[in-house]
Amino acid sequence: MKNNTLSKDHRVYVNLLSDVGFKIVFGNPQNKSILIGLLNLVLPPEAHVQDIETYLDRERTPTFLEGKKTLLDLICRDDRGQTFEVEIQRDVESSFFKRCVFYASDLYHSQMEAGNNFDILKPVYLISFLERKWPHRDESEWDTNR
């Protein structure tokens, strides 16, 4: 009879820069402490996450008939109402920055319902991990605070 169990020293490699690998590790609510650690590593101190309250639906439906439907890598909200969208990008395309602005602005806009005051809006953070260097025009565009 064949034994299908893994031995104690059996290790599985997961490429965290692939969409599938990233989602398996960081998109699993059982691993939320790992995601919190990752977020806090890159976020400014005032945005640090204590707990992830919910993982949100990655599929974003358009608000109008001919609008663009998008599928994001990972979206979650913390216990203070801050929204975090994390993207993995293997290939850097010229429109990537515009796409990030589009994603983040949709998440920000979707917080507002009719009759609400703008004071209810909470921060939205979009974090992108790139496999390749972003083609900056010059060094002044680099974030040297990390």
Query: Which residue would you say has higher pLDDT here, 60 or 131?
Result: 131
The architecture that CATH gives domain 19-141 is 3-Layer(aba) Sandwich (3.40)
Give 142's DSSP letter: S
| The two three-digit tokens of residue 133, written as one number | 């260097």
Distance CA 112, CA 26 (A): 27
Q: Whole-prediction pTM value?
A: 0.77
For the chain, give every domain's residue range. Answer: 19-141
pLDDT value at position 56? 77
Question: What whole-number percentage of the chain has pLDDT above 90?
Answer: 33
Q: What is the pLDDT of residues 17-51, one digit of tens each?
A: 888 888 889 999 999 999 999 999 999 999 999 99
Q: What is the pLDDT of residues 51-74, one digit of tens each?
A: 999 887 676 666 666 766 677 888
